[in-house]
A and B are shown apart, each in its own frame.
Chain A
Amino acid sequence: MPDYTLKIRRYDPESGEAAYWEEHTVELKEHSSVLEAILKVKADEDGSIGIRCSCRAAICGSCGVRINGRPGLACNTHLVEASQRAGDGAPITVEPMGNMPVIRDLIVDMDAVHWKKIRRVTPWLLNREPIPEREYIVPHENMVDVTQSMACIQCGACVSDCLSMEVDPGFIGPAALAKAYRFVGDPRDAEPFERLKDLAEDEHGLYDCTHCFNCIDACPKGVAPMSQIMRLRRRAGNDFEIEDRNNGSRHEHAFVKNIQRNGLLHEADLLPDSYGGKLNPRAAPELIESMPTVIKAVARGKVTPAKALLHQHKAPKEVKQIFKTIEARPEREELNLYITGYEDAEDRVDVPHVPHTDEPTSLQPPDPPVDKSPTFPAPEPAPESAPEPAPEPAPEPESESE
């Protein structure tokens, strides 16, 4: 069996010392896990290394750590792969997850961050009335659909490396928002509108995600938290037409229109368009507010006034075709691994077909997809006067509030 060297981040709050690195070498099979290696060190050499773990099979969610700087579960990371990623005989580094305070060694305070955020999203079903005597009759596809967010094991890997949370610790974050989709996407829930409104209006909410994909990479269960966030946005912005005070929804629509028109982003247009266009009174203060940034960018040569104002690029027909194809679809397609399979070309039936230049450009909507995304009941009409945006969730009296 080969030797593997682990470089483990140690921290003992009682010692008064700063955190430090400690190396251990173990002999294990290639496909043994990083967790097995840590447990072997604990068993044979040093029982004081702190790590939460139980199932060893990526289902209990206890052993979230950073391996070679990337978040994941120690139990389903193979030594051989971790070692290759570390590169050139370098030790495999194991350290506690980020964005959460370290309690000891590899153990972080999930309650202070992760669970607090989960509690923020009213994480229980608000039953659609009347509650039937037997089960709710709901489409199979909906239940398979929410199974993806239900598959979250609350390990915190996505929270660990969420870039938005690093900048804004108040961000509700990927895990909690994926949890929110589990209710918004559940036809038994009575309040998808109120939930979406609440999350959209929160300045640390739905539109605080910057699409960095870190959470999708980090998630060991294929929950794809960012995809769930995007689905929440589509539900909020398109289905329920929620226009949030953070301007998130308008910004998103302006962005899409901007690309449709220009093919490449025309930033000088984007900002005013997000506020209803250059002539909209709402846009003026935003433009003024952004001037220092613009001036800095010009001063540092990141943008030239000519390029910024006279955007010459126009969307080529291929880009327009992508829009046409998607808009021609009878249903909105959602990527969901429980429905479409995983990392596997033959299962990916729902990727838009973009023609090459030598193909005819008049696209038909593709054949009916093999797998249908769930269909949602038509949203109930938004209340005539939208409720006051609630910065805090409105928990039931008995509920927990943070």
Chain B
Amino acid sequence: MPSHDVLIIGAGLAGQRAALAAAGAGASVAVVSKVHPVRSHSVAAAGGINAALNPGDSWESHAFDTVKGSDYLGDQDAIEIMCRQAPEEVLYLEHIGVTFHRSEDGHLGTRAFGGASQARTFYVADITGQAILHVLYEQLMKHSGQVDRYEEWFTTDLLRDDDGHCVGAICRNLRDGRLEVFDAKAVILASGGAGQVFKPTTNGLIVTGDGIAQAYRVGAKLMDMEMVQYHPTTLAENGFLITEGARGEGAWLLNARGERFMEKYAPNKLDLASRDVVSRAAQTEINEGRGFPDGTVALDITKVPRKRTLEALREIVNIGRDFAGVDITREPIHIRPGMHYIMGGVKTDSFGETTVPGLYAAGEVACVSVHGGNRLGANSLLDTLVFGRRAGEHAAGRAKRMPMPSTPSSRVADAEETIAAIIRRPAGGRRIAAIKDELGTTMNRYCAVFRDAEGLAEAQEIVRRLKEEAPKAGIDDRGTVFNQDVIAAIELGYMLDVAETILVAAQERKESRGAQFRTDFPERNDEEWLKHIDVSLGDGGVPTVDYSPVTITRWEPQERTY
């Protein structure tokens, strides 16, 4: 039975960074991931990572941009920590081998990004996430003496002892169906966001809100769940991401009349206003009939010199060619806002500790909250790394002070029975994919860029019904080797829980702030709503809402214009 000081669930940027930090602090570490680590969705992060590292830049400027970007819902103490530690983190990555692109003089190069007052985004072409993820994995291979990797193991349950402390997890080896108890003195959730709750989404099929739901089910509080980011530039048909780096390099947004519409909505920052602002602008153009018939506007990347596009935006050249049939170096590409990121997640302090002792969270699964109502582009990689590291170090410190817990292996029997029950389900019932599809379409219809009470209530009704249908959904696969059907059934349950908490929080917040725009409450209302909405699992399995204050250190809320 595996036992480690620190058990990390998820092996994207946050998980791998946490693993290296915990190992560096002397802990024995296990990383469990339902996919091979380099398949983690961090791989898709394109544009870059923010840090105030250039001469003339300052962490204060970065922090202010982040606070303003968050529409003043971000906690300023946590934002300060993130922005102060950013330069050190970027240099750490540079030293372990990330191939950051350089300026002409050989120093680290930067590109402009949305909502930032300076060009402070460090990048590797438009595969920054991939480059960092693969280099961190190189380090995991190097440090395999300290970090045990459990690749393609799916976590089914978090374990708590009698005092309510998190003491490990039960995981299933996808390759042979074997379940194991993983004892651990601390558990770090680093399993990413919940993009698949929406359809379409830029997120991969594996991004099913597992960690958010697992934490919620063992009593952890969630926070800012209503804050769901729609990225301004995604492909209409399949939701694929066209990086903000394109606009950072000089691309323009145009409506169907060829007008550079951002002049109207953000006269100063134009295409590089923060994402919530640009997404609302693009969606408004579409809704008011100035878009193309396919419900899109255009992104004109031909404004970027062709050589620069080939060198620095190679991935979206491929995406344009392979998935839209467009050569972006020669013609504009049709895009629209699409679900991209969830600012909310498992509520943590600045060391990643959740409200459940022994349980940590870092990265998109967590809500520190450094992104508040709206995350700035290129701050998510930073978030994963800074708070991944902090969680890893803190968890290692906790482990030093306590004995190894031991969960009776009888707990495996319960988990086995849960899975056996899924496998025993009779054929028939709705198909898992159909339920998932209805969930995603519903969320994208009612809980997107513009929301109102009526739509949110409708969505909640639908989710309630889907929650009844899900446990009866049919299963085709009765085997143990890579039984993806069973995993899909469990993930569907996670997604429905996450959807429910998003809808509860979105209904609760009766104002417009950041990514949450309520057409029935179109103004920001600091007097009543400058506070976080926390959601936790109440009696009878019903989400319960309460509030927590926003930490304000030095930047008082102001009107927000770009």
**A-side interface residues toward B, CB under 8 Å?**
12-14, 31, 42-44, 46-48, 50, 52-62, 76, 78, 103-105, 107, 110-111, 118-119, 123-125, 127, 131, 134-140, 142-144, 146-147, 150-151, 153-154, 182-183, 186, 188, 221, 337-339, 341-342, 347, 370-371, 396-400
Complexed CA–CA distance, A265 and B291 (Å)? 62
User: Beyond A57-B319, A103-B482, A398-B145: 4 further Cβ-contacts under 8 Å?
Assistant: A48-B477, A125-B97, A131-B95, A135-B94
Show 25 residue pairs from A and B whose CB-CB distance is below 8 angstroms, ordered by the A residue.
A13-B481, A43-B437, A47-B477, A48-B476, A48-B483, A48-B484, A52-B39, A56-B205, A59-B44, A76-B322, A78-B322, A107-B482, A118-B141, A124-B96, A124-B139, A137-B105, A139-B102, A144-B125, A146-B99, A147-B101, A150-B127, A151-B127, A396-B142, A398-B142, A399-B142
Contact A60 B310 (CB under 8 A): no
Contact A138 B102 (CB under 8 A): yes
Complexed CA–CA distance, A370 and B240 (Å)? 33
Contact B141 A138 (CB under 8 A): no
Contact B482 A153 (CB under 8 A): no
Q: How far is the CB of B550 from chain A (nearest CB, A)?
A: 34
Contacts of A125 in B (CB 8 A): 96-97, 135, 138
Q: How far is the CB of B98 from chain A (nearest CB, A)?
A: 9
Contact A44 B433 (CB under 8 A): yes
Contact A103 B314 (CB under 8 A): no
Q: How far is the CB of A187 from chain B (nearest CB, A)?
A: 9
Contacts of B434 in A (CB 8 A): 43
Q: How far is the CB of B246 from chain A (nearest CB, A)?
A: 15
Q: Which of B106-114, B340-348, B394-402 contacts A (4 or more CB under 8 A)?
A: B106-114
Complexed CA–CA distance, A396 and B138 (Å)? 13
A14 in contact with B141 given A58-B322, A143-B101, A154-B38 (CB within 8 Å): no
Question: Does B35 count as interface, using CB distance less than 8 angstroms?
Answer: yes
Q: How far is the CB of B346 from chain A (nearest CB, A)?
A: 22
Contacts of B240 in A (CB 8 A): 56-57
Contacts of B138 in A (CB 8 A): 123-125
Contact A150 B479 (CB under 8 A): no
Contact A123 B310 (CB under 8 A): no
Complexed CA–CA distance, A143 and B205 (Å)? 31
From 47 to 106 in chain B, residues with beta carbon under 8 angstroms from any chain A beta carbon are 91, 94-97, 99-106
Contact A347 B99 (CB under 8 A): no
Contacts of A341 in B (CB 8 A): 307, 310
Contacts of A12 in B (CB 8 A): 479, 481
Contacts of A140 in B (CB 8 A): 101-104, 106, 109
Complexed CA–CA distance, A76 and B39 (Å)? 16
Contact A59 B43 (CB under 8 A): yes
Contacts of A56 in B (CB 8 A): 204-205, 238, 240
A111 in contact with B97 given A57-B323, A398-B142, A400-B141 (CB within 8 Å): no
Contact B99 A186 (CB under 8 A): yes
Contacts of A146 in B (CB 8 A): 99
Complexed CA–CA distance, A389 and B240 (Å)? 48
Contacts of A50 in B (CB 8 A): 481-482, 484
Contacts of B35 in A (CB 8 A): 52, 54, 62
Pick from A12, A52, A105 the residue with the most CB of B within 10 Å. Answer: A52
Complexed CA–CA distance, A44 and B175 (Å)? 24
Contacts of A186 in B (CB 8 A): 97, 99
The 6 lowest CB-CB distance pairs between A and B, nearest first, are A43-B433, A125-B97, A48-B477, A54-B204, A140-B102, A47-B476
Residue of A nearest to B325 (CB): A31
Question: Does B452 count as interface, using CB distance less than 8 angstroms?
Answer: no
Residue of A nearest to B315 (CB): A59
Contacts of B476 in A (CB 8 A): 46-48
Complexed CA–CA distance, A105 and B434 (Å)? 23
Question: Does B130 count as interface, using CB distance less than 8 angstroms?
Answer: yes
Contacts between chains A and B (CB distance < 8 A), count: 198
Complexed CA–CA distance, A144 and B135 (Å)? 16
Contacts of A44 in B (CB 8 A): 431, 433
Question: Does B36 count as interface, using CB distance less than 8 angstroms?
Answer: yes
Q: Which of B109, B134, B142 contacts A150 (CB 8 A)?
A: B134
Contacts of A397 in B (CB 8 A): 145
Complexed CA–CA distance, A76 and B318 (Å)? 10
Contacts of A62 in B (CB 8 A): 35-36, 39
Contacts of B39 in A (CB 8 A): 52, 54, 60-62
Q: How far is the CB of B120 from chain A (nearest CB, A)?
A: 14
Q: How far is the CB of B65 from chain A (nearest CB, A)?
A: 23
Question: Does B490 count as interface, using CB distance less than 8 angstroms?
Answer: no
Complexed CA–CA distance, A125 and B323 (Å)? 34
A60 in contact with B134 given A140-B104, A338-B311 (CB within 8 Å): no
Question: Does B212 count as interface, using CB distance less than 8 angstroms?
Answer: no
Complexed CA–CA distance, A54 and B108 (Å)? 32
Q: How far is the CB of B318 from chain A (nearest CB, A)?
A: 7
Contacts of B91 in A (CB 8 A): 134-135
Pick from A119, A140, A188 the residue with the most CB of B within 10 Å. Answer: A140
Contacts of A57 in B (CB 8 A): 44, 238, 240-241, 319, 323
Question: Does B488 count as interface, using CB distance less than 8 angstroms?
Answer: yes
Complexed CA–CA distance, A55 and B138 (Å)? 21
Contacts of B249 in A (CB 8 A): none
Complexed CA–CA distance, A90 and B175 (Å)? 33
Complexed CA–CA distance, A50 and B481 (Å)? 9
Residue of B nearest to A119 (CB): B141
Residue of B nearest to A62 (CB): B39
Q: Which of B40, B144, B483 contacts A400 (CB 8 A)?
A: B144
Question: Does B3 count as interface, using CB distance less than 8 angstroms?
Answer: no
Contact B311 A144 (CB under 8 A): yes
Complexed CA–CA distance, A143 and B97 (Å)? 11
A137 in contact with B107 given A56-B238, A124-B138, A150-B99 (CB within 8 Å): yes
Complexed CA–CA distance, A182 and B480 (Å)? 38
Contact B433 A42 (CB under 8 A): yes
A398 in contact with B143 given A47-B475, A76-B322 (CB within 8 Å): yes
Complexed CA–CA distance, A398 and B140 (Å)? 11
Question: Does B124 count as interface, using CB distance less than 8 angstroms?
Answer: yes
Contacts of B143 in A (CB 8 A): 398
Contact B43 A55 (CB under 8 A): yes
Residue of B nearest to A396 (CB): B142
A136 in contact with B94 given A12-B479, A150-B131 (CB within 8 Å): yes
Q: How far is the CB of B343 from chain A (nearest CB, A)?
A: 21
Complexed CA–CA distance, A135 and B204 (Å)? 33
Residue of A nearest to B53 (CB): A134
A147 in contact with B125 given A139-B106, A140-B102, A188-B97 (CB within 8 Å): yes
Residue of B nearest to A76 (CB): B322
Contact B124 A153 (CB under 8 A): no
Q: How far is the CB of B106 from chain A (nearest CB, A)?
A: 4
| Chain B 407-433 near chain A by CB (<8 Å), digits 1 or 0 | 000000000000000000000000111
Question: Does B146 count as interface, using CB distance less than 8 angstroms?
Answer: yes
Contacts of B131 in A (CB 8 A): 147, 150
Contact A14 B95 (CB under 8 A): no
Contact B175 A103 (CB under 8 A): yes
Contact A151 B314 (CB under 8 A): yes
Question: Does B349 count as interface, using CB distance less than 8 angstroms?
Answer: no
Residue of A nearest to B475 (CB): A47
Contacts of B96 in A (CB 8 A): 124-125
Residue of B nearest to A400 (CB): B144
Residue of B nearest to A132 (CB): B95
Contact A398 B146 (CB under 8 A): yes
Q: Which of B100, B310, B484 contacts A342 (CB 8 A)?
A: B310
Contacts of A399 in B (CB 8 A): 141-142, 144-145
Question: Does B41 count as interface, using CB distance less than 8 angstroms?
Answer: yes
Question: Does B151 count as interface, using CB distance less than 8 angstroms?
Answer: yes
Question: Does B251 count as interface, using CB distance less than 8 angstroms?
Answer: no
Contacts of B102 in A (CB 8 A): 138-140, 142-143
A47 in contact with B142 given A144-B101, A144-B311 (CB within 8 Å): no
Question: Does B206 count as interface, using CB distance less than 8 angstroms?
Answer: yes
Contacts of A338 in B (CB 8 A): 125, 310-311, 314
| Chain B 475-519 near chain A by CB (<8 Å), digits 1 or 0 | 111011111110010000000000000000000000000000000
